[in-house]
Amino acid sequence: MLSSKMQDALNAQMNWEIYSAHIYLSMSSHFSQEGMGGFAQWMFAQYQEEMFHAMRFFDYINEAGGHAKLATIESPPLAWESPLAAFEQALEHEQGVTTRVNALADLAIEEKSHAVGIFLQWFISEQVEEEDTVGDLVGKLKMLGDGGGLFMLDRDLGTRVFTPPTKA
C-alpha cells in the first residue's frame, strides 16, 4: 500500500509526464507549421513516449492500491525562435524530470518503499537516455547553425518512430 505522501508524489509525477507530453506535442505542431516535418515527427514520437511514461505511473499507482488522480495541465509554449531553442528547452525540461524522478527515488528510500524503488529504477535509467539523446541533438544543432544542414537533420529526424518498450 502506498502512503498518502508517496501516492501524492507519484500522482504529481504522472501529471508532470502528461505536461511533458503536451510540451512535445506543442513542439510538433510548431515544427509542422514551420515546414519541418522531420522535426515535427521526432517531437510527436517524443510526445507518445511521454504519454507511455504517464501511463506507467497511472497503472502502477492503481496496481499498488493507490488512486491515480489526473490534474489540470498547464498550457505549454506555442512557438520557439529556432530548432536549437526548442531542443535546448527540451534538454532543460528533461534535466528537470531527472531531478523529479531522483527525488521520488529518495522518498522511496526514506519510506523504505522497496516496491516503489524498484518501479522507479526503469525511469532513472530512462532519464539517462533521454538527456543523452536530446543533448546530442542540441550539440548537432549547434554545429549546424542555420545552414542547409537543417534540411538533412530534418530528414533524419523524420525517420523516428515510437516503439513502446516491453514490460519486464
Task: Please indicate, yes or no, whether the overall pTM of this predicted structure exceeds 0.75.
Answer: yes
Write the burial class of residue 44 (CB in 10 Å: 0-12 exposed, 13-18 middle, 19+ buried): buried
Q: How far is CA 57 from CA 53, 102, 103, in A?
A: 7, 15, 15
- Cα–Cα dist 116/90, whole Å: 27
DSSP letter at 16? H
In the numeric block, the cell 510540451 is attached to: 23
Fold of the 4-157 domain = Ferritin (1.20.1260)
Evaluate whether 35 touches 154 at the Cβ level (below 8 Å).
Answer: no
Q: Nearest-5° angle of CA 160, CA 83, CA 45?
A: 25
User: pLDDT in tens for each of the 168 residues of the chain?
Assistant: 899 999 999 999 999 999 999 999 999 999 999 999 999 999 999 999 999 999 999 999 999 999 999 999 999 999 999 999 999 999 999 999 999 999 999 999 999 999 999 999 999 999 999 999 999 999 989 888 766 676 677 778 888 888 888 866
Q: How far is CA 66 from CA 49, 86, 124, 153, 159, in A?
A: 23, 36, 22, 44, 39
Per-domain residue ranges of the chain: 4-157
